A and B are shown apart, each in its own frame.
Chain A
Amino acid sequence: MNLPRLLIKRNLTFSEFLYNFFATISGLTIFNLQFFKEVFLPPYEIPEIKKHMNELGVKTFPIVSVTGLIIGLVMAMQSLPVFMRFGATDYLPGTVALSVVRELGPVITALIFAGRVSSGIGAELGSMRVTEQIDAMEVSGINPFKYLVVTRIIATTFTLPLLTVYVIAIALFGSFFAITIEQGTNFEYYKNAVIDMLQFSDFIPGIAKTFVFGYIVGLVGAYKGYTAEGGTEGVGKASTTSVVLSSLLILLFDTILVKITLWLWPT
């Protein structure tokens, strides 16, 4: 795999910055193609994928739990005065649920996942690259791309949707808690209000796009780590730029996917 070489010096000129930008885009594209070339070929390294899914899920679990709860609480508390002004408090549980399911849950979980996991993958693979562990695999006749990269990308692609479902559930609990405290309502009332507003089709685009976000997190982290150079400084850079690039790509693809979703399900 011949990837374009990035300029690793500090204080790049504008033309060098542009060169690095397009080198990253083309590098990611080649990396992406290599992934699809390798993913369907044996060995499938299922135990390794399970191990990564377990580690990534467990690592991110505490922070997404707190975030999910706070999203629900804050959304409900912030929106309540506005809904009260218009006498529309009956619509509050459903509106919060709709926001969380369609947009806030998937995107915020993805951004947290990017911060926690993409940087971790970037640092881990970057460290393996600069300490020649990846070269050691290669000279042993083992395909490091398959073992290190493909397994991690599959793991992130399938872990993020599971975490998102969990975050949505926690956020709905948070909003139920806030509304119950403020309004003195009960669970039956909250449940009915949410069910009246939400349709099954609201879940599909929200969850479907998290597969794309998970893929982006894995791809960017693995790319930055796998191509790291320049010792410990290179590892740090791989970790930081993984978060920045994967977060930007998540937001960019969110915009594209929202547009596609609205085109497919206009209502």
Chain B
Amino acid sequence: MADVNIIRIENLTKRFDDFTVLDNVSINVKEGENLIVFGRSGTGKSVLLKCTIGLLKPDGGNIFIKDKNILELSTKELNKVRKHTSFLFQSAALYDSMTVRENLEFPLRKGGYNLTEEEIEERVYKNLELVSLVEAIDKMPSELSGGMRKRIGLARAIITEPEIMFYDEPTTGLDPITSKEISELIINLQKQLNMTSIVVTHDLICAKIIADRAIFLKDAKVAYEGTLDELIHSKDKFLQNFFSVDLINA
């Protein structure tokens, strides 16, 4: 892990009407680091990710990705920064009118990567092999199970070989075994491609496998920060309660 902050979030504030979801949130993520974001439902974890990637416009603060303040960039410049990043949505967000192959080809064809047909084909197969789903190449998303959809979503997210990955609850809705497999896949990919990741999750199995560091969002702020062990074994009543409930689930 390099000692360079590849993501810097400074005093991020986001409101929906009168409800403040994030209030002066500041986070730094080092190059190659895996940061886990915990928090109860509705505490703004997904909003934090969506602001960081530019899907939501914050009401205040600054967001730097690779030293570029994404809030000051034009759409064209922002898209250049986005070439270094990728996002795995909670629902996988596969394009349901396209086959698995077309889903994987789409970012390569439309994202301006100037690859030959052979290179596209090679990347599609390589990434499907990474998620062990080559046999699903000509299937439609509707023919896939929840776990398969997540894997294909992951394959599509990493096909552009991003430096930074954002995961929005990558294991939600999956059984514990599939959840563990997906988490191991994420950490293996992170090691192979030397990616930096921010992972929003409630899943302790997933967090234990992936986390280098964790933060906990509460009352629109970063309430706790540290290693996963520090958070789990904290003397704080709220954290003890949260993680004991989560451990039972795990």
Contact among A132, A139, A143, A147 for B85, CB-based, below 8 A: A139
CA–CA, A124 and B160, complex, Å:
27
- Min distance, Cβ A180 to any Cβ of chain B, angstroms: 46
A54 interfacial contact with B, CB 8 Å: no
A-chain residues with CB within 8 Å of residue B13 when the two chains form the complex: none
A142-B55 in contact (CB<8A) = no
A135 interfacial contact with B, CB 8 Å: yes
A132-B91 in contact (CB<8A) = yes
Interface residues of A (CB under 8 A from B): 43, 124, 127-128, 131-133, 135-136, 138-143, 147
Residue of B whose beta carbon sits closest to that of A139: B87
CA–CA, A124 and B95, complex, Å:
11
Query: Given that A141-B83, A141-B112 are contacting pairs, would A135 and B55 also be in contact in the complex, using a CB cutoff of 8 Å?
Result: yes
B110-A142 in contact (CB<8A) = yes
- Min distance, Cβ A102 to any Cβ of chain B, angstroms: 38
Number of chain B residues close to chain A: CB under 8 A? 26
CA–CA, A136 and B90, complex, Å:
11
Residue of B whose beta carbon sits closest to that of A127: B96
For this complex, 20 residue pairs linking A to B, each with C-beta atoms less than 8 Å apart, are A124-B97, A132-B89, A132-B93, A133-B96, A135-B50, A135-B55, A135-B89, A138-B54, A139-B53, A139-B55, A139-B82, A139-B85, A139-B87, A140-B82, A140-B106, A140-B110, A141-B111, A142-B106, A142-B107, A147-B110
Secondary structure type dominating chain B contacts = loop
- Min distance, Cβ A122 to any Cβ of chain B, angstroms: 15
Residue of A whose beta carbon sits closest to that of B94: A133
CA–CA, A54 and B83, complex, Å:
33
A136-B110 in contact (CB<8A) = no
A131-B91 in contact (CB<8A) = yes
Contact among A128, A135, A140 for B111, CB-based, below 8 A: A140
What string of 1s and 0s marks CB contacts (under 8 Å) between B86-114 and chain A? 11011101111100000000110011100
CA–CA, A124 and B96, complex, Å:
10
A136-B53 in contact (CB<8A) = no
- For A43, A139, A142, the residue with the greatest tally of chain B CB atoms inside 10 Å of its CB is A139
- Min distance, Cβ B104 to any Cβ of chain A, angstroms: 11
B-chain residues with CB within 8 Å of residue A142 when the two chains form the complex: 106-107, 110-111
B-chain residues with CB within 8 Å of residue A138 when the two chains form the complex: 54-55
A-chain residues with CB within 8 Å of residue B83 when the two chains form the complex: 141
Residue of B whose beta carbon sits closest to that of A140: B107
CA–CA, A146 and B153, complex, Å:
23
CA–CA, A147 and B160, complex, Å:
19
B79 interfacial contact with A, CB 8 Å: yes
- Min distance, Cβ B105 to any Cβ of chain A, angstroms: 12
CA–CA, A43 and B87, complex, Å:
24
B82-A133 in contact (CB<8A) = no
Give the 6 A-B CB pairs with smallest separation, nearest first.
A141-B79, A136-B93, A132-B93, A141-B82, A140-B107, A139-B87
